[in-house]
């Protein structure tokens, strides 16, 4: 038998009925069965997965090699067993609940041969709600671990030149129940002469099972912690300290370690929380460089810092309070801003201010912390003011705060909450009327604004402008179901009507309009005609 171009490795454990679609997608590959070897290892399945593998082996004896073995507890051991039997020039790994696009193998092998690449990353998408990071797939190109989004795509579902695998004896650590593919993939990418991305065809469909029984979803906190410790230690042995290593470890801090400190953390028993903090803290000490710290958002950074300090109760409270009430207010001190999470400037915690300092764009969090407390009208002679009390998610130096009526519609670049960071050269509204910062309250500062109204026809939103960490933010004011004051008439020579309302996006809008119709003009005639028609 001639050497196949590619050996597909399938580690199988209880994946019926998804397994059938997986195997069908392999035998239907456009590369042709004469260029294909499939090595499937049944890792002690207790459903019909083993029988299904045997059925395909009977139908396609020249393609399939099937091995049955006792359950090993993870995909590493069956994958290693399959590698011992692989004969293809390339080896490709597929999850037994996933499937391939029809031309996947043909396109990837052709790309590897044309580019002399050792690793090919075919475009991968998720199905049935499975999340798959997409930022790597921006075009067909060559990449490295430190110049792309590759560290966020470290699954072994790639095409590897088997000569590379055998030259460096690449295998999967069998004592890792989850994440065992990452040491293999990282080392292959470090050793590879060239890594190419194939983005113009969907090669791989990753399936989230209906019962979420994928092994990644079942592992507990301590098991996942041990695995990420192993991955980072393995990586540190391959890549010297510096920007290249940081580029890989950014993924592990942003993804694996962050997921250990989410809203399910407070529900863990006290000893487990302590062990998680201890383990995360050790990794922070070892690998969380100044560059990684400064490039990490304040929410994650504070949680890592509290874990490192062994401040288990403060960390638990930070997660609980943010889950229930949203992010804490920002403390403004000149052009610096700090997120006032538990432990901030607490000598017992001893965490440097830099962990709490805000450096990233915080549009969404400012939006969430800005809401209406009350609105009313206030008249002085012929002048009418809209008196707005609102809660802003900031404390400390609020001298930059301005509450004003909108100058125009929010641009498309605004975030989903409608707020935006103003460009550096954007015109900043001048303060009109008066603004009084009241004492700080839980969740921020109460601001009272008296906004003078102009007798004209307009419909304008109320917005807060505030400087945070050197940038100016424009934030629409949410009403959150607050009652609106009754419409008010003012002016004698040219009487106008003013009303406050909540628009379809839940934001405060002030509408003014003249009460008297103009005596001439097409619009006036049309309104009079419509009025007469209604009376008839």
Q: What is the pLDDT of residues 39-90, one digit of tens each?
A: 999 999 999 999 999 999 999 999 999 999 999 999 999 999 999 999 999 9
* 6-10, 96-100, 395-399, 529-533: the lowest-pLDDT one: 529-533
Q: How far out from the chain centre does Cα 354 lie?
A: 23
* 439-465 pLDDT per residue, tens: 666 778 999 999 999 888 999 999 999
Q: Give the pLDDT mean for 98-126.
A: 98
| Count of all residues that appear for the chain in the document | 536
Do residues 333 and 467 touch, judged by C-beta distance below 8 A? no
Quote the DSSP letter at residue 353: G
Confidence of residue 535 (pLDDT cuts 50, 70, 90): very low
Residue 12's H or E segment, with its range, is: strand 6-12
Q: Percent of the chain at pLDDT above 70?
A: 92
CA atoms of 158 and 119, how far apart (whole Å): 7
Q: What is the DSSP pairing of strand 471-476 with strand 458-468?
A: antiparallel
CA atoms of 516 and 498, how far apart (whole Å): 14
* 41-50, 137-146, 192-201, 434-443: the lowest-pLDDT one: 434-443
Q: Percent of the chain at pLDDT above 90?
A: 78
**Between vectors from CA 366 to CA 360 and to CA 368, what angle results, nearest 5°?**
130
**Verdict on whether the full-model pTM lies above 0.75:** yes
The predicted structure's pLDDT at residue 381? 84
User: If you search the block for the tokens 């130096």, which residue do you land on?
Assistant: 397
329: its two tokens? 């207010």
Mean pLDDT of the chain: 91
Three-class DSSP category at 523: helix
Q: What is the DSSP code string of 373-399?
A: EEEEEEEETTEEEEEEEEEESEEE--T
Residues sharing a CB contact under 8 Å with residue 121, sequence separation 6 or more, in sequence order: 136, 143, 150, 153, 158, 159, 195, 196, 197, 198
User: If you search the block for the tokens 């239907």, which residue do you land on?
Assistant: 28
* 245-262 pLDDT per residue, tens: 999 999 999 999 999 999
The predicted structure's pLDDT at residue 452? 92
**What are the angstrom distances between the C-alpha of 527 and each of 165, 495, 499, 519, 524?**
80, 18, 21, 11, 5
**What are the angstrom distances between the C-alpha of 15 and each of 48, 52, 134, 207, 210?**
9, 10, 25, 11, 11
Do residues 518 and 511 touch, judged by C-beta distance below 8 A? no
pLDDT at 423 over 50: yes
The predicted structure's pLDDT at residue 168? 98
Residues sharing a CB contact under 8 Å with residue 420, sequence separation 6 or more, in sequence order: 363, 410, 411, 413, 414, 473, 474
pLDDT at 330 over 80: yes
Torsion sign across C-alpha atoms 233, 237, 241, 247: negative
pLDDT at 308 over 70: yes
Confidence of residue 529 (pLDDT cuts 50, 70, 90): very low
- Which ranges in 103-241 belong to alpha helices (H)? 104-115, 162-167, 181-191, 215-218, 221-238
Do residues 118 and 188 touch, judged by C-beta distance below 8 A? yes
Q: Give the pLDDT mean for 6-29.
A: 97
pLDDT at 267 over 90: yes
- The neighbour count for residue 280, using CB atoms within 10 Å, is 26
Q: Which residue has the higher pLDDT, 218 or 364?
A: 364
250: its two tokens? 């950014």
pLDDT at 147 over 80: yes
Confidence of residue 369 (pLDDT cuts 50, 70, 90): confident
Do residues 279 and 229 touch, judged by C-beta distance below 8 A? yes
SS (H, E, C) 425-479: CCCCCCCCCEEEEEEEECCEEEEEEEEECCCCCEEEEEEEEEEECCEEEEEECEC
Phi and psi dihedrals of 447, rounded to 5?
A: -115, 135
User: If you search the block for the tokens 């950014």, which residue do you land on?
Assistant: 250
- Cross-strand bridge partners of residue 497: 489, 513
CA atoms of 515 and 449, how far apart (whole Å): 26
Do residues 133 and 51 touch, judged by C-beta distance below 8 A? no
Crossing angle of the two packed helices 312-325 and 270-287, in degrees rounded to 10: 100
pLDDT at 270 over 80: yes
Peptide bond just before 17 cis, omega within 30 deg = yes
pLDDT at 361 over 60: yes
334: its two tokens? 């000149």
pLDDT at 476 over 50: yes
Do residues 20 and 40 touch, judged by C-beta distance below 8 A? no
Q: How far out from the chain centre does Cα 178 lie?
A: 21
Classify residue 326 as left (phi > 0), alpha (psi -120 to 50) or beta.
left
- Cross-strand bridge partners of residue 337: 332
Q: Give the pLDDT mean for 326-348.
A: 94
pLDDT at 226 over 60: yes
SS (H, E, C) 18-65: HHHHHHHHHHCCCCCHHHEEEEEEEECCCCCHHHHHHHHHHHCCCCEE
Q: Give the pLDDT mean for 185-195.
A: 98
Q: Which residue has the higher pLDDT, 343 or 426?
A: 343
Three-class DSSP category at 363: helix
Q: What is the DSSP pairing of strand 159-161 with strand 330-333?
A: unpaired
């Amino acid at each position: 038998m001639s050497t196949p171009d590619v050996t597909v490795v399938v580690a199988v454990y209880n994946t019926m009925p998804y397994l059938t679609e997986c195997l069908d997608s392999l035998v239907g590959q456009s590369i042709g069965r004469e260029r294909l070897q499939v090595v499937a290892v049944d890792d002690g399945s207790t459903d019909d997965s083993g029988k299904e593998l045997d059925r395909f082996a009977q139908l396609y004896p020249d393609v399939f090699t099937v091995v049955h073995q006792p359950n090993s507890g993870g995909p590493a051991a069956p994958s290693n067993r399959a590698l011992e039997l692989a004969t293809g020039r390339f080896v490709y790994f597929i999850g037994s609940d996933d499937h391939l696009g029809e031309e996947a193998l043909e396109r990837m092998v052709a790309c590897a041969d044309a580019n002399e690449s050792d690793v090919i990353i075919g475009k991968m998408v998720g199905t049935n709600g499975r999340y798959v990071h997409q930022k790597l797939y921006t075009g067909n190109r060559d990449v490295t671990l430190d110049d792309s989004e590759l560290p966020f795509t470290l699954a072994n579902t790639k095409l590897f030149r088997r000569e590379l695998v055998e030259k460096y004896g690449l295998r999967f650590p069998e004592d890792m129940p989850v994440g065992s593919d990452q040491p293999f993939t990282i080392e292959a990418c470090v050793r590879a002469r060239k890594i190419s991305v194939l983005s113009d065809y969907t090669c791989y469909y990753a399936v989230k099972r209906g019962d979420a029984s994928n092994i990644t979803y079942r592992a507990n906190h301590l098991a996942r912690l041990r695995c990420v410790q192993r991955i980072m230690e393995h990586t540190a042995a391959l890549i010297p300290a510096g920007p290249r290593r940081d580029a890989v470890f950014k993924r592990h801090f942003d993804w694996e370690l962050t997921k250990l400190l989410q809203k399910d953390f407070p529900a863990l028993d006290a000893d487990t929380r302590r062990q998680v903090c201890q383990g995360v803290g050790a990794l922070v000490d070892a690998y969380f460089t100044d560059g990684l710290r400064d490039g990490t958002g304040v929410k994650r950074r504070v949680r890592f810092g509290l874990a490192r300090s062994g401040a288990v109760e403060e960390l638990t409270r930070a997660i609980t309070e943010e889950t229930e009430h949203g992010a804490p207010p920002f403390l403004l001190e000149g052009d610096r801003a700090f997120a006032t999470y538990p432990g901030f400037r607490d000598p017992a915690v001893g965490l440097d201010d830099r962990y709490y300092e805000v450096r990233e764009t915080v549009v969404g969090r400012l939006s969430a912390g800005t809401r209406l407390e009350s609105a009313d009208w206030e008249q002085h002679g012929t002048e009418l003011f809209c008196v707005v009390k609102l809660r802003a998610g900031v404390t400390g130096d609020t001298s930059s705060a301005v509450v004003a009526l909108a100058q125009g519609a929010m641009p498309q670049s605004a975030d989903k909450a409608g707020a935006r960071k103003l460009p550096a050269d954007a015109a900043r509204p001048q303060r009109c009327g008066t603004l009084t910062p009241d004492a700080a309250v839980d969740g921020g500062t109460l601001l009272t604004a008296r906004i003078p109204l102009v007798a004209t026809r307009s419909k304008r939103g109320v917005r807060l402008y505030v400087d945070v960490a050197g940038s100016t933010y424009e934030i629409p004011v949410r009403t959150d179901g607050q009652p609106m004051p009754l419409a008010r008439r003012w002016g004698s020579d040219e009487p106008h009507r003013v009303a406050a309302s909540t628009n379809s996006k839940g934001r405060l809008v002030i509408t003014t309009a003249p009460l008297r119709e103009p005596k001439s003009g097409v619009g006036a005639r049309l309104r009079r005609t419509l009025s007469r028609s209604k009376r008839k």
